[in-house]
Amino acid sequence: MDRAFIKTPLGVAKLKGNADGLSSITVLNTDETVTDIVPESLEDAVYQLNEYFQGKRQQFDLTLNPEGTDFQQRVWQALEEIPFGKTVSYLQLSKNLGDPKAIRAVAAANGKNPLWIVVPCHRVIGSDGSLTGYAGGLHRKKWLLAHESPAKQQSLF
């Protein structure tokens, strides 16, 4: 499995993958040395993530190869359908998957998403609009949603 560490506005991200696709992207809470030479299998992912953070990309076009149960895979595929700049509630996501009673299972699968940003679990919020639960930390979820917001906050100074 190839690995690369890249700098992002939210910390160092660790990418793992190979010729079969990208298997994980995680943001680290520790400093890690940024990769000087990115493995060929991860070059496109690094390029697209950099474009995302520069505000030049709203969708990813990558071969994904995350490990998870069939149910988790279904949830992660549903997450990919949430448009850039939009959010859905955990309840709505459960309904979209055909079982509104599965809200806790959907939330658990969402929390196990191994592909930070590319599979946009940060776009799922509480039914009341609250920023509930995010494995990367609520400060990162808030930043990502603001980054994707169509109405950017203007500074008065």
Q: Which helix (H) or strand (E) holds 70?
A: helix 70-80
pLDDT value of position 155:
55
Do 18 and 2 contact (CB within 8 A), yes or no?
A: yes
Q: Where is average pLDDT lowest: 25-34, 35-44, 104-113, 146-155?
A: 146-155
pLDDT tens by residue, 76-109:
999 999 999 999 999 999 999 999 999 999 999 9
Q: What is the mean pLDDT of residues 103-132?
A: 93
CA distance to 52, 53, 78, 136, 147, per residue, from 75 (Å): 23, 25, 5, 18, 23
Which residues on neighbouring strands pair with residue 13, listed in sequence order?
A: 6, 27
122 within 8 A of 140, measured Cβ to Cβ: yes
Q: Which pTM value belongs to this model?
A: 0.90
Mean pLDDT of all residues belonging to the chain: 93
- Tokens of residue 132, six digits: 């509930």
CA end-to-end span of the chain: 47
Strands 21-27 and 11-18: antiparallel
Per CATH, is 2-53 categorized as 3.30.160?
A: yes
Per domain, the residue ranges of the chain are 2-53, 70-148
Do 70-148 and 2-53 have the same topology in CATH?
A: no
Query: Looking at the predicted structure, is the pLDDT value of residue 112 above 70?
Result: yes
Q: Is 121 designated active site?
A: yes
Confidence of residue 29 (pLDDT cuts 50, 70, 90): confident
Catalytic residue among 121, 124, 125, 144: 121
- Bridge partners (DSSP) of residue 3 are 16
Q: Which CATH number fits domain 70-148: 3.40.50.1980, 1.10.10.10, 3.20.140.10, 1.10.3720.10?
A: 1.10.10.10
Q: Tens of pLDDT along 52-75?
A: 999 999 999 999 999 999 999 999
| Adjacent-strand bridge partners of 6 | 13
Amino acid found at 78: A
